[in-house]
Every structure is written in structure tokens, then in C-alpha cells.
Chain A
């Protein structure tokens, strides 16, 4: 068996490539070609020039939206970390049953469709929703606007992205040798100093992985901010959709998409130099 397999790969080198062919063709037709089309459009529509890029990079509206996108992504990442780190810790250091239960709760949101989750938030946070009704019942006069605000879109994005953070940190925490913690204790560390000098640095790779993943995914978020957020605090993907849906400005939309892609690649490159991309997905 081993013999015939090695012969297969040594002599007929084409086989592994043939096995990859369906995937390769699929990626070519549905990813590379459209992406190339977008790149070409960004410099040809409406005419061949770099005008679209000039507009994207210098126009006040676009700059504002880009900055808003990055700030939102950074804030969502921080929130995911704040929520995710304690949860991951709880998972990594509780009994297997409890850990399973938390894992189930965390991953459950993965099994629900993106749109369903977003609409659920609309129902929960809407003016006729249970949360407002509860506040009313408590006798609060000035009812806050929850839906279509930065609050609602951030909340929903954190809900969607937190599992990526949690799983990344959890997997790192799980791999920490308990002897390291014991040895730190025997050397006189406890509580906060043990956490700061030993536990936190040991989990830092998980924090870095989770943060990059959440940040990069968040940069391109479309549905959630569009449906739940305030129109005044648009994110870049929403603006791209806007350009294409309403103004049919394919060139401008494409240029924005390319800028976003480029920035994302830069972030991933920096991360790769520092930690290695291969670690991002465990």
C-alpha cells in the first residue's frame, strides 16, 4: 500500500494536482476572475484613470468612513477580548462538563444563520422589543434609542465575532503546561503578579491570533452595520454597497474594495512577519 502510494506520487506527479483541480477551477472561476474584474474596473470605470483612487484617498467622506471602519473594528476587537478572555479562561479551567456547556453556548451562534442573528437583534432591540418594554415597565421616562445606533451594531458584531476570539485564546490556554503555573507559584508568584508575569504572556499568542482574526473580519462587515447601525456611522463595506446599488458607481466601489483589501493584506503581512500566519488557524 505504502509502496504503491509513493510510486503514485513519485512517478505520476500529475495525480495530486488532478485531485486539486475541482477546487482550483472553482476558486479560479468564482474568486480570482471576479477579483481581477474588480481590480480592472477600479481603474477603467468610467474611463481609464486613477481618478477613482484619488477620490477614495482624498475625499472627506471616504476618509471619514475608512477611519470609522478602523475605529469600529478596533473597538469591536477590544470588546471581543474583554468578553472572550474571561470566558476562555473559564472554559480552560473548569470541569469538562462545564467547559463543554460553555463551548456549546459559544459555538451555538455559529450554527445560526448570519441574517437570522441580525434580525433577532432587531427584534430584541427594536422600539417594540422586549428590552424597551422592560425599561418602560421599570418606569424609565426617557426611553433610549437602541436600534440603528453604534451600540446595536457593535453589540451584534461582538456577538458574531467573539467565538473567533474565544476559540483562539482557549486553544492557547489549554496548551499551557500546568507545571509552569505550579513552578511560578513555588517561586513566590500569586494572584495578579502570577497573571501578569506568567499567565498573560503565555496566552499572548492567542490574544494576538484572535485579535487579528476579529479585526480583519470586522473590517469587511456589511450586513450587520447596514441593518443594525446608524446610517451616519457607515462602515466601508456598507459604503461600497451603497455606491454600487444606488449610484451604479462600479469603478469607485471597486477602488474602495481594493483599498480595503490592500490594507487588510498589509495587516496580515505585519502579523505574519511577527508571529507567522500559519498560527492564525491553529
Chain B
């Protein structure tokens, strides 16, 4: 597969501040890629550079083999859905969707028909004559999506488009956006700071931190094989235990208070004595009164139990290391806050992070 969108060594500085540091990325045609990261991590800046609203201090942007680095935003043919939708308040929904066609010289009759068709595709048949303020947040969102797609853009950029919606609507729109994106096959960049959104929608996730790409991989790889402890901590819940490799051949690592850990595999070549971080996801840990045979057991003092009904989060301390354990709701009855218990896992659940 050849890459469709190609960012090469994008750098962006504001005075002394480096907002983006050597960001390179290849996206394939039709792919749904999510930029995920905390605010100020550079994900929105990267999006704005792709859109042409920000000028990169260095590097190049290519779409379909053609450099667009020097093009003005209106020459790029990129559809964008903004955070607050940015619908034109003086135009009706269908006129909003017609606008990009109008700018491309499509006649009014044909353009409005095309716009109506696009509104039907996003599920807004019959709402075309309404003004944005007469539409709900979710409907405005759909109009913005239709407007960004109607002119068959080479790329679709979504800048935290679901942030303003309530939880139920957000989940509904996640499915909806995914469906529309698949049916049109448009290459899409989605910016969010919401990891569950990123997990559920993306073909690949790009994790940004401090102006760099920390990791770029499929959602499950990001979750199960994070390459840095930042990614491990940012995506999902995690127990991160500092350790040194005891024996790379024997696949063991040591923590001064907790002792030896066995691990099954690592993505990196490890050497004896190397400082690493061990990741164990809370849902891979079992909680019990007594040690369980065949698993690695340590003792933990329970500090807090947060009950969610179907499951519970047990927060405690093993030695000086804070630990989190996710247990099924039914299992939590065996333990009380302040008690000591056993937590256990298998070597397959221990992932070694070198950065």
C-alpha cells in the first residue's frame, strides 16, 4: 500500500516554544486515523497545518503524491468539521451544504439537489430549510459533516467534533460518523482527547505528547503494546512498576520492594540490568484472599473500593507502589477497605516498556 497523506518532518515553533518537533506520518487512502493526546500536545496544530491555517516552520505535507505545503486553505480541497461546527448562521442547512459547491461554480439547482442528497446521507432528510439555530447540537453536527463531504474532499479533518455533545448523542454520532466515513471511503483525520472515542472509531491511533508522536498503531496494539510509559498511562488504566531486567534470557525483571517479575514477551531487545517499566492492566489482575497457584502473587493493602455496579475498582498499595485492580462486581464482596489481600497475574499480562 502506498501512502496517501504524507507528513514529513513537520516542525512548528512559536518563538522559543516548539509546538511540533519532527512529526512524520503516513496515512493510507480510506484510513480513519485519530490524533489523540492531552491539550497542548500538538495534535490540533498538526491538523491546522494539514488544513493550511497554520504554516509549518519546517517539513512538508503531501496528499496523493502532490505537495500541498505551499497551498492556501481554499486551494487544498480538504473538508473540515470544526469543534463548534462553524455553520453559517445566515444560511439554511441546505444552503450551508451547497456553499462549497457554489464556490466551485456548481449551478444553484444542481448544487441544491446535491446538497439535499448529502443531507439525506447524514440522516437529515427534510431539515434543509432550517437555519442552524433551529437545529439541535447533533443535527448541526450532521450538517457540518455533510458540508465538509459534499464536494468530495481529498481529506476529511474532524477537530474534536463530539466535544459539545452529551454522552448518549456522542456514542450515536461516533457510530454515525464511522458509517458515513466507510460508505464514502474518505481518508479521515480525527482529533480528540477522548481515548474511548479514539479506541472505538479508529483504524489507527497516533498518540501525541509534547509536540512529538509517541506512538502510532492500531487501537488494540496501542492498548496492549504501548511503546512508552506515557502511552501506557494515557490510554486506559494502568499499573506501572519501575524495574530492572534481572535476566533477559530468563525473562525476569526485579523491583526492589516487590521482588522478581516474570514476563512473557517484549517488543524490544532487552539486556541484563536495563531500567524498564512494567505494565500490568488492572483488569488482568485477580484479587483473592490467598495466593493462587500458577500465578505470580503479591500482597496488597486495600485503601479504596470504588463500586460501579457491574465492576469495581480496588485501589491499594503493594509495598510503596500504588496498585489498581479491576474486579467484577460480584467478586468485590470478599474484601473490605483496610484489609490485606492477594493480587496475582500471569507472565503474559506483564508488558515491558523501555521508554
Contacts and interface: CB of A to CB of B under 8 A. Distances in A.
A116 interface: no
Interface string A164-182: 0000000000000101101
Nearest to A204: B90
Contacts of B51: 182, 186
A188 B52 CA distance: 12
B80 A186 contact: yes
Nearest to B78: A186
Chain A interface size range: 10 to 19
B74 A185 contact: yes
A201 interface: yes
Contacts of B104: 188
Interface stretch (B81-89, B187-195, B321-329): B81-89
Majority-rule SS of A interface residues: helix
A13 interface: no
B78 A198 contact: no
A193 B99 CA distance: 11
Nearest to B95: A197
A182 B74 contact: no
B102 interface: yes
B88 A180 contact: yes
A38 interface: no
B43 interface: no
Nearest to A186: B80
B330 interface: no
Residue with the highest number of chain B CB atoms closer than 10 Å, among A177, A188, A189, A197 = A188
A186 B74 contact: yes
B77 interface: yes
Instruction: State which size class the interface on B falls in.
Output: 20 to 34
Contacts of A202: 88-90
B100 A182 contact: no
A109 B14 CA distance: 40
Interface in A226-256: none
Nearest to A201: B90
A139 to B, nearest CB: 49
A183 B80 contact: yes
Contacts of B76: 186
A187 B84 contact: no
Contact of A182 (B82, B88, B102): B82
B103 interface: yes
A190 interface: yes
B103 A182 contact: no
A184 B148 CA distance: 10
B53 interface: yes
B90 A188 contact: no
Contact of B88 (A185, A186, A188, A198): A198
B86 A179 contact: yes
B187 to A, nearest CB: 16
A121 to B, nearest CB: 39
Contacts of B72: 185, 190
Given A182-B53, A182-B73, A183-B80, A188 B86 contact: no
B147 interface: yes
A188 B74 contact: yes
Contacts of B35: none
Contacts of B84: 177, 179
Contacts of A177: 84, 86
A185 B73 contact: yes
A184 B86 CA distance: 9
A187 B103 contact: yes
Contacts of B80: 182-183, 186
A197 B79 contact: no
Contacts of B102: 197
A36 to B, nearest CB: 43
Interface in A180-218: 180, 182-190, 193-194, 197-198, 201-202, 204
Nearest to A180: B86
B208 interface: no
Given A177-B86, A179-B84, A202-B90, A188 B53 contact: no
25 contacts: A177-B84, A177-B86, A179-B83, A182-B51, A182-B73, A182-B80, A182-B82, A182-B86, A183-B86, A184-B99, A185-B53, A186-B52, A186-B73, A186-B78, A187-B99, A187-B100, A187-B151, A188-B74, A188-B77, A188-B104, A193-B103, A198-B88, A201-B88, A202-B89, A202-B90
Interface of A: 177, 179-180, 182-190, 193-194, 197-198, 201-202, 204
Interface of B: 51-53, 72-74, 76-80, 82-84, 86, 88-90, 99-100, 102-104, 147-148, 151
Closest 9 CB pairs of A and B: A188-B103, A183-B86, A187-B100, A179-B86, A185-B73, A201-B90, A190-B74, A186-B80, A179-B82
Given A182-B73, A186-B74, 5 more contacts: A177-B86, A185-B72, A186-B73, A187-B99, A187-B147
